[in-house]
Amino acid sequence: MSDRNPDERHIDEGSKDRQLETFRREPGEYLTTNQGLQVDSTDNSLKVGERGPTLLEDFHFREKMNHFDHERIPERVVHARGSAAHGYFQVYESMAEYTKAKFLQDPAVKTPVFVRFSTVVGFRGSADTVRDVRGFATKFYTEDGVYDLVGNNMPVFFIQDAIKFPDLVHAIKPEPHNEIPQASAAHDTFWDFISLMPESMHMIMWVLSDRALPRSYRMMDGFGVHTFRFVNEQGKASFVKFHWKPLLGAHSLVWDEVQKLGGKDPDFNRRDLWEAIEMGDYPEYELGVQIVPEADEFKFDFDILDATKIIPEELVPVRPIGKMVLNRNPDNFFAETEQVAYSPGHIVPGIDFSNDPLLQGRLFSYLDTQLIRLGGPNFAEIPINRPVCPVHNNQRDGYVRQTINKGRVSYSPNSLGGGCPMADPNNLRTYTHYAEKVEGHKIRQRSESFQDHFSQATLFWNSLSAAEKEHLISAAHFELGKVETREIRQRMIDLFNRIDHEFAKRVARGVGVPEPTEEVVKNHGRTSAALSLENSPKDSIKTRQIAILAADGFDRSQLMEMKQALKDAGAMPQIVSKFKGTIKSADGQELEVDKTFLTSGSVLYDAVYVPGGQQSIETLKMQGDAIHFLNEAFRHGKAIAAAGEGVDLLLASNLAGVELAEQNGRMAADKGVVTTRHGTVGDVTGEFIQAIAQHRHWTREQKERVPA
């Protein structure tokens, strides 16, 4: 019991109020924990030395990340909108020289997988095709337990230290005062943050590029992002980076398509993945690795523990080691796609971590997130998360516990249960952390080797084709054009000027700030061929969607011949007309219409074909939707073909304004437009298929006047 009188307590409480008022009147706000403790930094986690592992005692990091992980329920804070599929992985040959991971040993073994693709920023109800990073998370159900390779479709990230992740996501999410904009980086708070974070410059170049607009999850690269370790049976370790490469090649949409697809079909990528698997066109990806001997850790002019850097393939080639096939859709979206729980901490013997401070933080964050999303510590018992090998431990009870544990023993050591479960005395299948020697002072500081924020951004810029550079500049004009604060736009131009002077000048012209007058840093001139989508394989039209425009009176032989040729090449042709039902050919045969102009659009297809038939063409000429369909496809660089009177529809669509002209019975056109007026369809099928395989024909973007 206090020996103070009530008046003294009143005086103390008044003093506290006055003290708080004094604090409130002080200029600025001093950074504190939730307990009011001032901290000296929120930019670096506490590590052993500059390049050492993050320490569990870092209470500021844990509080910041813990609060962030629990901000929203029940959907994921990031990667909320996802789509997934089951499949299997097979290694090409034993990787025993580098790793003892069992699933990387026997080419005859098919390891089950569950892969979830996702956008990062938007809520569950947002569109698939927004400009964003895409998640590429793979769960391997191995005989030694679950292994999760949790990556993205870009090989680098915005930040170097996980303690900045809440700041990044807070900045890019809808602004808190009005919850606008959804699933978009084009607003002040994001670019305010980025303009003050030079380490983000490499990632920003990727986000502004076509890589942020994938044509399909089936045509999208995947990366493990971080540097991990392989460890073999002898305990020898190597550093490793993981790459997924789609066998169909990596291809993109264009920005105008993306905006229109958000209205036409916000489920575009999700639907594409589902329908391809249902049709038996199983997505396939090669797993590749870049392996760096431990002795070579410091031989590069960047730090391999820095998640904002790549290892250029010219320095360390990607070695294909296996193939993944996705061959089954989920039975229930919620039970599987929504409840699947990934974590980089789900590991198997033979694979270990590096001291990458972003990876170190993720090891804490993912587990913490699942505890709130999935109702407690038993999320591993949800069917989609269960390992295929037995589970034995003394963990009990908790929310939604499913296992009915028998017997009286739930502790270790014990004698009543025969000592079980016990550690394997022979260590045959146990996980042993790599015995890396670590020493250093406990500090909040970043290594000097993490300080180059611009040279790889320049490498990325230098490696793009002319068309890809134009797209990136246009993306910067859109994103920064939405930023209201001029100072933020100016800061971004100043940062871009450290990447490339001409690039900064071209961006500045479109965002209302002066062009930089001086070249701050000379462009180093280096390139890496793997960074350009233009270098992706372009030898197949498998699964490509082709629209065939037709109406009553179409030339049946021209339509059917091209349709069959496209199907034989693996494409998916569909008849598009004004109304659903059937249309009648000039010779009286009926054909089922797949889609209407109202329910589809050129943005849903990879190419367009117009067969002849005088009545059909005269009808289509009078339909604005048909004319717009062709104009739009032409604007987006897609392959277009026409036969017989179908050529007249191309001319009527105002494409003649961009140098389409008949010459000697063939149309001399921009690359990617294939026609025959008097010849046979067979004369142009091969050329049309080759034009589709090129994905897009960017020379059309150089025209001043392109309809639609």
Least confident of 22-26, 169-173, 518-522, 636-640: 22-26
Largest CA distance in the chain: 110
What's the rounded mean pLDDT across residues 320-337?
96
Assign 669 a pLDDT band (cuts: 50, 70, 90): low
Rg (CA), the chain: 29
Dihedral sign from CA coordinates of 444, 449, 455, 459: negative
Query: Is 59-184+213-385 in CATH node 2.40.180.10?
Result: yes
| pLDDT tens column, 536-595 | 889 999 999 999 999 999 999 999 999 999 999 999 999 999 999 999 999 999 999 999
Q: Compute the mean pLDDT over every residue in the chain, rounded to the nearest whole number.
A: 91
What is the C-alpha separation between 628 and 208, in angstroms, rounded?
28
* C-alpha separations of 556 from 549, 572, 582, 629 in Å: 12, 18, 13, 21
Given pLDDT bands bounded at 50, 70 and 90, which one contains residue 12?
Answer: very low
Looking at domain 545-702, its CATH class is alpha beta
**152 counts as catalytic:** yes
Q: Extract the tokens encoding 297.
A: 């850790």
Residues 59-79: what's their mean pLDDT? 78
Q: How much of the chain, in percent, has pLDDT values that exceed 70?
A: 92
What is the rounded distance in angstroms from the CA atom of residue 393 to the CA atom of residue 396?
A: 9
Report whether 575 contacts 609 (CB < 8 A).
no
Over 80: is that where the pLDDT of 112 sits? yes
In this prediction, residue 662 has a pLDDT band, given cuts at 50, 70 and 90, of: low
pLDDT for 77: 85
pTM: 0.90
Q: How far apart are the first and last CA of the chain?
A: 82
φ, ψ of residue 554 to 5 degrees: the values are -70, 160
pLDDT of amino acid 663: 53
Question: Is 32 or 27 the better-scoring residue by pLDDT?
Answer: 32
Question: In terms of DSSP H, where are the helices of 401-465?
Answer: 455-463
Ordered by start, the domain boundaries in the chain are 59-184+213-385, 545-702
Active-site residue (options: 44, 60, 66, 79): 79
pLDDT digits (tens, 9 = 90+) for 477-518: 999 999 999 999 999 999 999 999 999 999 999 999 999 999
Average pLDDT over residues 441-460: 96
pLDDT over 60 at 14, yes or no: no
SS3 278: helix
**Catalytic option among 66, 152, 378, 462:** 152
259 Cβ contact list (under 8 Å, min separation 6): none
**Best CA proximity match to 271, nearest among 600, 24, 542, 42:** 600
Measure the CA–CA gap between 436 and 634, rounded to whole angstroms.
Answer: 57
Q: Measured between alpha carbons, how far is 256 from 44 in angstroms, rounded to an integer?
A: 39
